[in-house]
Amino acid sequence: MVESIQDRYARWQLHELLRRHPELRIVPADDLLVLRGDVAFRVVGPNEEYLEDSYRVEIVVPLDFPESVPMARERGGRIPATYHKLEEDFLCLAAPTELRIKLLTAPSLLIYVETYLIPYLYGYSYFAKHGRMPFGELKHGDDGIRQYLAGLFQSEDSKRAEDFVRCAAMKKRRANKVPCPCGSGQRLGRCHNRVVNSLRKRFGRKWFWTEYGMIMRSLSEKPRKDAVSKWLEKVPVAQLPPAQYGAA
């Protein structure tokens, strides 16, 4: 049976979000859930550093959340475009794959706001005060995407980190024969196979296929053709799904 909108909003913890952040208001919109208003917070960050602040934001939630992730904009004109942002002024709260993975396992708008949006806003308040980032930051652009993926797959080398996602989208037996994307020269079955297997088991090959498609679309510089990519191309790829977050 198709889930009703009522049940969907309950599963997303919309009511809890509105209760905890009462300055956020639903703005009627046709095929999105749009929330606008102030997000206020009091945060004890790293090294017990306490900050309180409030930002005017707009959060746009696609109705197929968590398959697609929400997007947030700061509306008070405080955060400059040179800070961590995507196209159209959307805030870049985390690496896209990370956001998708985390929200898939916890599809809650309250978690989105309190685990991603508020730490991001706290991060900016902290940055404005101290000139540095409280939680570190990813590199911008492609390098940042790969840096996150390398971390996810516990690889030191991030040059071809997107290939890990592709391996996770392949059947185990096949993937194990592929040269390990960490660049060790070993095949995956003798190298990073455990972490790939466990993530594959957790999210499923299909999810990684979709994710791979989205990553390939968001990488502005496509990877060089080398032995690994030639090898990987032998594996049939379903049509790449459309990118589902702002940076299409």
Site string for another protein, 97-126 (x = CB under 8 A): -xx--x-----------xxx-xxx-xx---
Three-point CA angle 29, 30, 36, nearest 5°: 15
Long-range contacts of 193-199 (CB under 8 A, 24+ apart): 195/153, 195/154, 196/153, 196/164, 196/167, 196/168, 197/172, 199/152, 199/153, 199/168
Determine the size of the site formed for another protein (CB under 8 A): 67
Rule CB under 8 A: say whether 76 interacts with another protein.
Answer: no
Rule CB under 8 A: say whether 22 interacts with another protein.
Answer: yes
Closest to another protein by CB, 26 vs 237, is: 26
Binding residue for another protein, selected from 85, 159, 187, 217, defined by CB under 8 A:
85
The least distance separating another protein from the CB of residue 77, rounded to whole angstroms, comes to 18
d(CA 71, CA 102): 15
Rule CB under 8 A: say whether 78 interacts with another protein.
Answer: no
- Identify the residue whose tokens are 């594996």: 235
Rule CB under 8 A: say whether 15 interacts with another protein.
Answer: yes
Choices 40-48, 185-193, 207-215, 232-240 (CB under 8 A): range interacting with another protein: 40-48
Of the candidates 212, 213, 214, 150, the residue with the CA atom closest to the CA atom of residue 182: 150
